[in-house]
Amino acid sequence: MANANTNNTEAAHVSIDSEPAHVISTAVECHDDDDVGALHDVVQGLPSHAVKDLLSVGVCTRCILRLFGIRGNIYSISAISPSILNSVIGEQRHDEDISSNSKESEFEEVLCALCLGILQFTYCDDKEIPVKKGSANDMAVAISELVKREGYQIDSFSLEVSVPPIILENEHSVRLYMKRKYGTEPWFQGGPFSQSISAKDALKFSLAKPLETLLDCKSGISNFRIRLTFSHKSSKVVQSVAVSKQGCKRIKTGNCVNSLDDSVAGDIECSDLADATVERSFDGLQDNESSEFFKFPLEKVNDACHLVLLCQRTPIYFGGRYLKYSRNVSQTRWIIDDERMGEASVEEIIGSNIQPLCQGDNYKFHAAGREDIDVRMLGSGRPFLVEVQNARRIPSEAFVREIETNINNLENKLVGVKNLKVVGIEGWTMMREGEAEKQKQYAALVWISRPLEDVDLDSISSLKDMKILQGTPIRVLHRRSPLQREKIIHWMKIERIGGSSQYFLLHLCTQAGTYIKEFVHGDLGRTHPSIGSILGCRAEILQLDVTDVKMDCFLTE
């Protein structure tokens, strides 16, 4: 996928005329005379009878230009009105629609039968109030005001537009009509309509430059999305027919032929998909087949489209490792019958220190595995991700270090954080990768029913990569499948505790997913072998700590 920014916004090329137009100056409204001049030149080259025909069926000026595939920096020029085409069709238009011939920018009262007013910057807002923006710039101003009101700090933006499927239906009808009527004429042979620009792209072209100026950053692939969704009452049936003919093929928008602006890269959005599906199916239809769907002349449009304007940042991720020093803190928020279990949760302590500083809507906590509420997480910590939705600002590296310090300096010292930083989506795969294979290391405080002997230390240390079979522990049997799980205990080491003959520290390293408590006390014989069965006595576990999660992600660099 080529980054089309360099083609579009920097140097505009008008396809029919080989003379390049000049770059638009920073004051948006003031276009180079050359721009407008180039436009006139191009327009001169259009077949006048065809243009007149299109005007007469209710197609607006911008739609005519885009149907003929005219590219370039022209869509944001406000001076696009029917009068521009006058030179082509060689006569003055006498309709009451034009208030005064001397004005450059005029309002077209009648909604375009093709784009339903979208390229005339006319729509209904979310309060159902009809809005008519005089120019692309005015519309861009409305958008930029929304962005600023929400407090977004951005260094780029991605502009996405979705239009009702009936527009594609209409376009197909128009093209078919033009083909039937002018198909034999010489200008048609060059295939001007095969270069048509979609209504979506035309709108994007008109809004991109003014928005770049107003928001002071470039448009393109970005984590900040400005989404314009147009819908119309009349949009209905064609979609289902088209889909059934093609058998519901799913098409990635990356292949969308007309999309010169790659801001939608990789994003499969509902209506974009519908458009692509409808487009493809129309291409496949033969002339005679499609005549049942062919509606010409186009229906008159009485209502403008409803526009929903949405600004949103894609989720940002904070990665790091957490430590849990308390035996009364759960990993995630745990509430039973309106009562919280434990005094706090790792999720809330970390999330509540990150989300507000990003001014996000909310957050999600993900960790590589978990430990019980009464088990401490020590050593290098456990990898985690905090996903913040719709952040208004992304904290700098220094700010992120400050967040880490704040969490580690909390008075109650329940939780600690290491190596906190903003990570991309790869943080996710890093965490999930090999989660099931990674080994974990523990320290357990064990009591046995007889005094510990030296020979016991050896019998335990000598066991390497020992296989055990664990029936689903009784304490989780109510919510997990009753299964026998084979697990590996990689190594074990007993550390004597001074002053006690029956208590000792058991250090062990096991396969991910091993239930340690059950391995010590045997779970009524349902885990075998167990410490008790190996030492030939009863064994109980009093405390458990995780001392190492052997994973490569979010380590100190």
> So which residues are the catalytic ones?
372
* Token pair recorded at residue 114: 């093709």
Closest to other proteins by CB, 257 vs 542, is 542
> Minimum Å distance from CB 388 to other proteins?
20
Q: Where does this chain touch other proteins (CB under 8 A) — which range of 23-31, 342-350, 358-366, 439-447?
A: 439-447
- By CB under 8 A, tell whether 477 contacts other proteins: yes
Residue 34's alpha-carbon distances to 72, 84, 109, 203, 241, in angstroms, are 12, 15, 29, 22, 46
- Site size for other proteins (CB under 8 A): 43
- By CB under 8 A, tell whether 557 contacts other proteins: yes
- By CB under 8 A, tell whether 451 contacts other proteins: no
Closest to other proteins by CB, 282 vs 442, is 442
- Residues 364-423 binding other proteins (CB under 8 A) are 376, 378-380, 397, 401, 419, 421
Q: Where does this chain touch other proteins (CB under 8 A) — which range of 187-195, 240-248, 327-335, 495-503?
A: 495-503
Please list the alpha-helical segments (H only) found in 409-552: 426-432, 454-461, 516-521, 531-535
The residue whose two tokens read 């994007």 is 204
Q: Which residues have CB under 8 Å from 322's CB, separation 6+?
A: 346, 350, 367, 377, 381, 382, 384, 415, 416, 417, 418
- Of residues 23, 214, 217, 541, which one binds other proteins by CB under 8 A? 541
- By CB under 8 A, tell whether 454 contacts other proteins: no
Coil vs helix vs strand at 344: strand
- By CB under 8 A, tell whether 505 contacts other proteins: yes
Q: Where does this chain touch other proteins (CB under 8 A) — which range of 37-45, 231-239, 296-304, 496-504?
A: 496-504
| Residues paired with 405 in a beta bridge | none
Coil vs helix vs strand at 5: helix
> Minimum Å distance from CB 366 to other proteins?
22
Q: Which residues have CB under 8 Å from 442's CB, separation 6+?
A: 507, 508, 509, 510, 516, 544, 545, 546, 547
Q: Which residues have CB under 8 Å from 104's CB, separation 6+?
A: 78, 79, 81
Contact in structure between 212 and 158 (CB atoms under 8 Å): no
- Residues 507-536 binding other proteins (CB under 8 A) are 517, 521-525
Contact in structure between 51 and 85 (CB atoms under 8 Å): yes
The closest alpha carbon to 546, from 367, 385, 392, belongs to 367
> Minimum Å distance from CB 499 to other proteins?
4
Closest to other proteins by CB, 347 vs 545, is 545
Contact in structure between 413 and 518 (CB atoms under 8 Å): no
- By CB under 8 A, tell whether 256 contacts other proteins: no
Closest to other proteins by CB, 85 vs 422, is 422
Q: Can you give the binding site for other proteins, defined by CB under 8 A?
A: 325, 376, 378-380, 397, 401, 419, 421, 443, 445, 447, 471, 474-482, 497-500, 503, 505, 517, 521-525, 538, 540-543, 545, 547, 556-557
